[in-house]
C-alpha cells in the first residue's frame, strides 16, 4: 500500500522510522535486561504509537503486524510470558517485516513478504523452520480448504485480529522475509533524507537574513554616496573647463586666484566625502562580514547530526551476527552525541559496517577458544566516537586475537607485494598496515560475512574520499583497534596555498606535517628516487609540477639555493613536495565539481581566493600515490638546463566551475592559460597580451562568444588566431552562426570530451 498524499507520506516516513528505531533499541536493551519494566513500558508506547499512525494513514499490513507485536509484549508485561530469546527472535522478525511494509508505503518499493506467515510466527503458531524456504502464499487458484503449508491447525489458534487482518491477498504469491534480511538492510545505500532542526536555530537564521536586508540597504546608500562623489567630480571638471576657456578674457592673476580657491574648496569637500565613505564602508564591511559568517555557520550547522544517527544502525547487526556465529558479544557505543556533517554520516556507514563485521568474523574468537586462552567467554566490542580539534575520530575496538603479523607477511610474499628483505626492514606497524593493500587477505577460504572480495582497501579508499585517514593498532591475543579520522566539515577546509609557475594551489592543512626550506645539498638519490632526510628518516621528494604533469617552464626556484618544501603525511606515508613558493594559510570554501567532467586525479575541488583568483584544491592522497607511482626524482641539474615553452591560450568562460575545470585540463596539457570572466574581459586581455589561441563560451554577459569572435576578426593581426567555441547550443543554425562569426571550431558541451578539445587545439596550434 503506497501513501498517495505527498505530505502525509513524508510525515509517515519520519514518524515510522523514529518508532521503528525506538522499538529496535528497546528490544536490544530488554534482551540483556529482561526485568526492566520501564523499558518495556516505553516499548509498548512506541508500538502503540506506530500502530495508531499506520491505522490513520491506511497502512493496514503495518497495523496488523504491530498489533501482534503489541499483543506479545502485553503478555510479557502481564507476566503471562517470559521475555526469552525465542520471543525476542519473533519480535525482531516482526520488526523487520514492518520496516519493509513502511518502506513500501513511503517509496512504493514492494515489501515482498507474507503478512499471514509473519503473524503466525509472531503468535507462535508456526516456527520459522516449519515454513518452506520461499514462504510463498498460495496461488490465485488455491482455496482456504486446501492444505496451506501444513498450518491450517495454526489458523484456528490465532486470536481475533484487528479489522486490517483478514485473509486478504492470500491469493497472492509473495515470498516471506529472507533469512539474511538484516544483512540485506545493512547493505542498502544509506541516505539521510530529512534533518530535524530546532526552532531556535531557524529563528536565528531568520534574524540573520533580516540583518542581510539591512546590509543591502546600507550598500545601496553607499552607491548614492559614490554618485555624490561623481557629481562633485563632474562639477569640478566643468568649472576647470570653463576656467580654461576664459583664459585671456579676464585678469589672469585674479582668475588664477579664484580657481585656486575653488579647487581648494572642492578638494576639501572631496576629502571630507571620501573620509566619510571610507568610514561608513568599513562599518558596512564589518557588519556584513559578521552577518555572513553567522549565516554561513548557521547554515553549516543545519547539516550537523549526531554520530548516533549512524551508530544506532549497528547494535542489531552485531547482535544478529554474534548469534549466527555463536559468539557472546558485549557491544558498547560511546560518543554518539558528537556532531558531524550529514554527508560524513552517509559515507562512513559502509566502512564502519565492514570493520564491525571483520571484528566479529576475524578478530573475536569463539567462546570455547576464549575460555581456553583464559579470557572471559563474553567478548568486548566497542564503537567509539570523539572529536579532536576540527576532526572527528571513530574507533572500532575489540578484545579478540589481534592481527597475525606472520600471516600478513606470508600473504604479502604470496601476492608479491614485498620481498623478504623489504618485510624484514619494516616495523610491526608498517606490516600491520599492509592489510589495507588492494585484495589483501590472510584467509584462504571465503566466508559469507567478510571476505567476499571487498577488502579493507575499499574501506581505506572510502575514508580517504572524505579527506580522512585510517590506522590500525594491534596487540597479539589482546585485541585490535581501527581508528578513522575525518574532517568534521566537508564544505570548508584550512589550506596551505602554494605557487607553481605563478599559479596558486591549495593543500589541505590536515595533511601538511610541516613546511621548510630545503638546501639542494640535503637532497640525494635513494634507489632511483629523490630523497630527503627528515627527523632521522628518509622520505621521498617530488616536484609538484611533475606530480601534476605540468609540462611547463623551468620552476621559478630552479636556480635558487633553497627550495620551498611542504612535507605531507597521509596515514603513515610521508612525501616532500617542492613548490615555487609557500604563499599563505587560508580557510577555503570548496566549490562543487562541474557535472561536465568526472573526478580529476590529484584534484578534490576548486575555490576562489580573496584576490579573485581561481585556485585548485589538491587531493593529498592522490598526490602521494601519483608521486610514488612515477619516478619523480627529476634531477635538479637537468631542471636547471631545461627550456620549456608554452602555447598561450586565452580561456573565456563566465561559469566558475567550468572555467576552473577547463583551465585545469589545458594546464595539464602544457598550455599557458589566461582566464577571462566574460567576452568583454576576454577581448581586453587579448588586446593587452600575446596569445596563440582563444577558447570561448558563447552565452556570456557583456559580450557573447559570437560577438567576441566577430570583434577579433575585425583586426588584421588576428586573422590567423584560432578561435574555438565551446557551448551548449548544439543546433545546426548555431554552428553556422559560429562559422559566420569567424570561429575555427565549434564544440558542444553536451557531448564534451576533453580529448576532443585538446586534439582540436593541437590541430590549430
pLDDT at 593 (0 to 100)? 60
C-alpha cell at 759: 586534439
Q: Over 80: is that where the pLDDT of 571 sits?
A: no
How far out from the chain centre does Cα 161 lie? 48
Calculate mean pLDDT across residues 394-411: 91
Q: Over 90: is that where the pLDDT of 329 sits?
A: yes
Cβ count near 732 (within 10 Å)? 7
Phi, psi of 566 (to 5 degrees): -105, 125
Which superfamily does 491-643 belong to?
CheA-289, Domain 4 (2.40.50.180)
Q: Are 572 and 429 in contact (CB under 8 A)?
A: yes
Calculate mean pLDDT across residues 623-636: 65
Query: For helices 705-712 and 732-741, what crossing angle results, to 10°?
Result: 30
pLDDT at 142 (0 to 100)? 32
Calculate mean pLDDT across residues 728-736: 79
Distance, in Å, from the CA atom of 466 to the CA atom of 485, rounded to the nearest integer, reads 9
Q: When comparing pLDDT for 280 and 20, which is higher?
A: 20
Q: Over 50: is that where the pLDDT of 433 sits?
A: yes
Q: Does residue 643 sit in helix, strand or coil? A: coil
Q: Over 80: is that where the pLDDT of 631 sits?
A: no
C-alpha cell at 501: 609557475
Calculate mean pLDDT across residues 251-279: 80
pLDDT at 297 (0 to 100)? 74
Q: Are 364 and 327 in contact (CB under 8 A)?
A: yes
Calculate mean pLDDT across residues 147-161: 36
Q: Are 192 and 304 in contact (CB under 8 A)?
A: no
Q: When comparing pLDDT for 179 and 528, which is higher?
A: 528
In a 10 Å sphere around its CB, with 0-12 CB exposed, 13-18 middle and 19+ buried, how is residue 114 labelled? Answer: buried
Q: Are 150 and 135 in contact (CB under 8 A)?
A: no
Going by the DSSP 8-state scheme, the letter that residue 591 receives in this structure is B
Q: Does residue 322 sit in helix, strand or coil? A: helix
Q: Determine how β-strand 723-727 pairs with β-strand 745-748.
A: parallel
Share of the chain above pLDDT 70, in %: 82
Distances in Å between the Cα of 594 and the Cα atoms of 590, 617, 749 are: 12, 14, 12
pLDDT at 207 (0 to 100)? 75
CATH class of 6-179: mainly alpha
Task: Provide the whole-model pTM.
Answer: 0.57
Q: Are 400 and 330 in contact (CB under 8 A)?
A: no
The domain segmentation of the chain, as residue ranges, is: 6-179, 199-302, 306-486, 491-643, 646-765
How far out from the chain centre does Cα 63 lie? 38
Q: Are 89 and 40 in contact (CB under 8 A)?
A: no
pLDDT at 708 (0 to 100)? 92
Confidence of residue 481 (pLDDT cuts 50, 70, 90): very high
Going by the DSSP 8-state scheme, the letter that residue 553 receives in this structure is S
First to last CA, the chain: 64
Pick the closest to residue 543 from 644, 420, 393 (CA basis).
Answer: 644
- For 308-322, 420-434, 440-454, 464-478, which range has the lowest pLDDT when averaged over its residues? 440-454
Distance, in Å, from the CA atom of 120 to the CA atom of 154, rounded to the nearest integer, reads 7
Phi, psi of 675 (to 5 degrees): -100, 145
Q: Over 70: is that where the pLDDT of 435 sits?
A: yes
pLDDT at 289 (0 to 100)? 78
Q: Are 430 and 472 in contact (CB under 8 A)?
A: no
pLDDT at 480 (0 to 100)? 93
Q: Radius of gyration of the chain from Cα atoms?
A: 35
pLDDT at 151 (0 to 100)? 32
Q: When comparing pLDDT for 635 and 78, which is higher?
A: 78
Q: Over 70: is that where the pLDDT of 633 sits?
A: no
C-alpha cell at 570: 597521509
Q: Over 70: is that where the pLDDT of 127 sits?
A: no
Distance, in Å, from the CA atom of 47 to the CA atom of 26, rounded to the nearest integer, reads 11
pLDDT at 182 (0 to 100)? 67
Going by the DSSP 8-state scheme, the letter that residue 527 receives in this structure is T
pLDDT digits (tens, 9 = 90+) for 484-509: 988 777 766 788 999 888 889 999 88
Q: Are 47 and 69 in contact (CB under 8 A)?
A: yes
- For 54-58, 93-97, 168-172, 572-576, which range has the lowest pLDDT when averaged over its residues? 168-172
Distance, in Å, from the CA atom of 709 to the CA atom of 277, rounded to the nearest integer, reads 41
Q: Over 90: is that where the pLDDT of 578 sits?
A: yes
User: Considering Cα of 594, then 595, then 596, then 602, what sign does the dihedral take?
Assistant: positive
**CATH number 3.40.50.2000 is the correct assignment for the domain at 306-486:** no
Q: Over 50: is that where the pLDDT of 165 sits?
A: no
Write out the H or E segment, with its range, that includes residue 668.
Answer: helix 656-668
Q: When comparing pLDDT for 601 and 541, which is higher?
A: 541
Distance, in Å, from the CA atom of 745 to the CA atom of 764, rounded to the nearest integer, reads 9
Distance, in Å, from the CA atom of 96 to the CA atom of 645, rounded to the nearest integer, reads 66
Distance, in Å, from the CA atom of 1 to the CA atom of 102, rounded to the nearest integer, reads 9
Beta bridge partners of 650: 674, 694
Q: Are 401 and 476 in contact (CB under 8 A)?
A: yes
Q: When comparing pLDDT for 417 and 163, which is higher?
A: 417
pLDDT digits (tens, 9 = 90+) for 669-690: 888 899 998 999 999 899 888 8
C-alpha cell at 389: 580539534
Calculate mean pLDDT across residues 181-196: 58
Q: Does residue 518 sit in helix, strand or coil? A: strand
pLDDT at 226 (0 to 100)? 86
Confidence of residue 301 (pLDDT cuts 50, 70, 90): confident
Pick the closest to residue 659 from 682, 676, 672, 684 (CA basis).
Answer: 676
In a 10 Å sphere around its CB, with 0-12 CB exposed, 13-18 middle and 19+ buried, how is residue 762 labelled? Answer: exposed
Distance, in Å, from the CA atom of 671 to the CA atom of 656, rounded to the nearest integer, reads 19
Confidence of residue 32 (pLDDT cuts 50, 70, 90): confident
Query: For helices 456-465 and 342-358, what crossing angle results, to 10°?
Result: 160
Distance, in Å, from the CA atom of 554 to the CA atom of 643, rounded to the nearest integer, reads 6
Cβ count near 134 (within 10 Å)? 12
Write out the H or E segment, with its range, that includes residue 126.
Answer: none
pLDDT at 647 (0 to 100)? 84
**CATH number 3.20.20.70 is the correct assignment for the domain at 646-765:** no
What angle (nearest 5°) sits at the alpha carbon of residue 48, between those of residues 44 and 49? 120
Q: Over 70: is that where the pLDDT of 168 sits?
A: no
Pick the closest to residue 97 from 52, 132, 126, 63 (CA basis).
Answer: 63
Write out the H or E segment, with its range, that includes residue 149.
Answer: none
Confidence of residue 201 (pLDDT cuts 50, 70, 90): confident
| Residue 206 neighbours by CB under 8 Å, 6+ apart | none
pLDDT at 560 (0 to 100)? 58
Highest mean pLDDT among 288-297, 583-592, 614-623: 614-623
Mean per-residue pLDDT of the chain: 79
Q: When comparing pLDDT for 494 and 377, which is higher?
A: 377
C-alpha cell at 498: 602554494
Confidence of residue 116 (pLDDT cuts 50, 70, 90): confident
Confidence of residue 762 (pLDDT cuts 50, 70, 90): confident
DSSP 326-371: T--EEEEEE-TT-EEEHHHHHHHHHHHHHHHHHIIIIISPPHHHHH
Confidence of residue 642 (pLDDT cuts 50, 70, 90): very low
pLDDT at 144 (0 to 100)? 29
Q: When comparing pLDDT for 705 and 219, which is higher?
A: 705
Confidence of residue 166 (pLDDT cuts 50, 70, 90): very low
Confidence of residue 397 (pLDDT cuts 50, 70, 90): very high
Distance, in Å, from the CA atom of 429 to the CA atom of 1, rounded to the nearest integer, reads 55
Write out the H or E segment, with its range, that includes residue 138.
Answer: none
Amino acid at each position: 500500500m503506497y501513501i498517495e498524499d505527498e505530505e502525509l507520506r513524508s510525515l509517515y516516513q519520519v514518524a515510522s522510522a523514529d518508532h521503528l528505531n525506538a522499538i529496535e533499541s528497546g528490544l536490544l536493551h530488554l534482551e540483556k535486561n529482561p526485568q526492566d519494566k520501564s523499558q518495556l513500558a516505553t516499548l509498548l508506547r512506541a508500538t502503540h504509537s506506530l500502530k495508531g499512525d499506520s491505522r490513520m494513514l491506511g497502512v493496514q499490513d503495518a497495523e496488523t503486524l504491530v498489533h501482534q507485536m503489541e499483543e506479545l509484549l502485553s503478555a510479557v508485561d502481564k507476566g503471562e510470558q517470559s521475555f526469552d530469546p525465542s520471543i525476542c527472535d519473533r519480535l525482531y522478525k516482526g520488526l523487520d517485516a514492518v520496516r519493509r511494509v513502511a518502506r513500501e508505503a513511503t517509496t512504493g518499493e514492494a515489501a515482498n513478504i507474507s503478512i499471514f506467515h509473519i503473524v503466525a510466527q509472531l503468535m507462535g503458531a508456526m516456527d520459522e523452520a516449519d515454513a518452506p524456504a520461499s514462504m510463498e502464499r498460495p496461488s490465485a487458484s488455491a482455496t482456504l480448504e486446501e492444505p496451506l503449508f501444513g498450518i491450517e491447525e495454526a489458523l484456528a489458534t490465532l486470536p481475533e485480529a484487528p479489522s486490517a487482518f483478514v485473509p486478504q491477498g492470500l491469493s497472492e504469491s509473495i515470498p516471506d522475509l529472507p533469512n539474511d534480511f538484516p544483512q540485506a538492510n545493512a547493505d542498502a545505500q544509506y541516505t539521510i533524507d530529512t534533518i530535524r532542526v530546532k526552532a531556535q536555530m531557524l529563528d536565528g537564521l531568520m534574524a540573520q537574513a533580516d540583518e542581510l536586508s539591512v546590509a543591502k540597504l546600507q550598500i545601496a546608500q553607499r552607491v548614492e554616496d559614490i554618485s555624490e562623489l561623481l557629481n562633485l567630480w563632474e562639477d569640478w571638471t566643468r568649472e576647470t573647463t570653463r576656467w580654461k576657456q576664459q583664459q585671456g578674457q579676464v585678469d589672469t592673476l585674479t582668475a588664477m586666484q579664484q580657481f585656486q580657491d575653488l579647487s581648494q574648496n572642492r578638494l576639501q569637500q572631496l576629502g571630507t566625502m571620501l573620509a566619510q565613505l571610507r568610514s561608513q564602508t568599513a562599518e558596512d564591511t564589518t557588519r556584513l562580514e559578521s552577518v555572513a559568517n553567522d549565516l554561513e555557520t548557521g547554515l553549516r550547522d543545519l547539516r550537523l547530526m549526531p554520530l548516533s544517527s549512524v551508530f544506532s544502525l549497528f547494535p542489531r547487526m552485531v547482535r544478529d551476527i554474534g548469534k549466527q556465529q555463536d559468539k557472546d558479544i558485549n557491544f558498547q557505543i560511546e560518543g554518539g552525541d558528537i556532531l558531524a556533517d550529514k554527508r560524513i554520516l552517509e559515507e562512513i556507514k559502509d566502512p564502519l559496517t565492514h570493520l564491525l563485521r571483520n571484528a566479529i568474523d576475524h578478530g573475536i574468537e569463539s567462546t570455547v577458544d576464549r575460555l581456553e586462552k583464559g579470557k572471559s567467554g563474553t567478548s568486548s566490542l566497542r564503537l567509539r566516537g570523539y572529536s579532536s580539534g576540527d576532526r572527528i575520530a571513530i574507533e572500532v575496538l575489540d578484545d579478540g586475537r589481534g592481527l597475525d603479523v606472520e600471516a600478513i607477511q606470508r600473504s604479502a610474499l604470496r601476492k608479491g607485494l614485498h620481498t623478504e628483505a623489504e618485510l624484514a626492514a619494516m616495523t610491526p606497524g608498517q606490516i600491520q598496515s599492509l592489510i589495507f593493500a588492494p585484495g589483501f587477505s590472510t584467509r584462504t577460504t571465503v566466508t559469507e560475512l567478510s571476505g567476499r572480495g571487498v577488502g579493507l582497501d575499499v574501506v581505506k579508499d572510502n575514508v580517504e574520499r572524505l579527506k580522512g585517514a585510517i590506522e590500525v593498532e594491534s596487540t597479539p591475543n589482546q585485541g585490535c583497534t581501527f581508528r578513522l579520522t575525518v574532517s568534521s566539515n566537508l564544505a570548508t577546509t584550512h589550506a596551505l596555498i602554494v605557487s607553481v609557475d605563478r599559479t596558486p594551489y591549495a593543500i589541505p592543512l590536515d595533511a601538511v606535517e610541516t613546511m621548510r626550506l630545503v638546501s639542494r645539498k640535503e637532497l640525494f638519490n635513494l634507489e632511483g628516487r629523490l630523497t630527503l632526510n627528515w627527523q632521522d628518516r628518509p622520505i621521498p621528494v617530488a616536484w609538484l609540477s611533475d606530480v601534476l604533469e605540468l609540462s611547463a617552464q623551468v620552476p621559478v626556484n630552479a636556480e635558487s639555493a633553497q627550495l620551498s618544501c611542504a612535507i605531507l603525511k597521509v596515514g603513515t606515508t610521508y612525501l616532500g613536495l617542492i613548490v615555487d613558493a609557500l604563499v599563505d594559510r587560508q580557510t577555503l570554501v570548496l566549490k562543487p565539481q562541474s557535472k561536465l567532467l568526472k573526478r580529476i586525479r590529484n584534484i578534490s575541488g576548486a575555490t576562489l581566493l580573496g584576490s579573485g583568483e581561481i585556485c585548485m584544491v589538491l587531493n593529498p592522497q592522490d598526490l602521494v600515490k601519483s608521486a610514488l607511482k612515477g619516478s619523480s626524482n627529476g634531477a635538479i641539474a637537468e631542471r636547471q638546463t631545461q627550456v620549456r615553452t608554452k602555447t598561450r591560450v586565452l580561456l573565456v568562460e563566465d561559469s566558475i566551475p567550468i572555467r576552473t575545470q577547463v583551465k585545469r585540463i589545458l594546464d595539464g596539457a602544457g598550455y599557458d592559460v589566461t582566464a577571462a570572466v566574460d567576452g568583454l574581459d576576454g577581448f581586453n586581455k587579448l588586446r593587452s597580451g600575446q596569445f596563440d589561441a582563444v577558447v570561448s563560451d558563447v552565452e556570456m554577459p557583456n559580450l557573447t562568444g559570437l560577438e567576441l569572435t566577430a570583434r577579433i576578426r575585425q583586426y588584421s593581426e588576428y586573422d590567423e588566431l584560432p578561435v574555438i567555441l565551446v557551448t551548449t547550443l548544439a543546433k545546426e543554425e548555431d554552428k553556422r552562426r559560429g562559422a559566420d562569426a569567424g570561429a575555427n571550431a565549434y564544440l558542444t558541451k553536451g557531448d564534451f570530451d576533453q580529448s576532443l578539445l585538446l586534439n582540436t587545439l593541437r590541430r590549430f596550434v
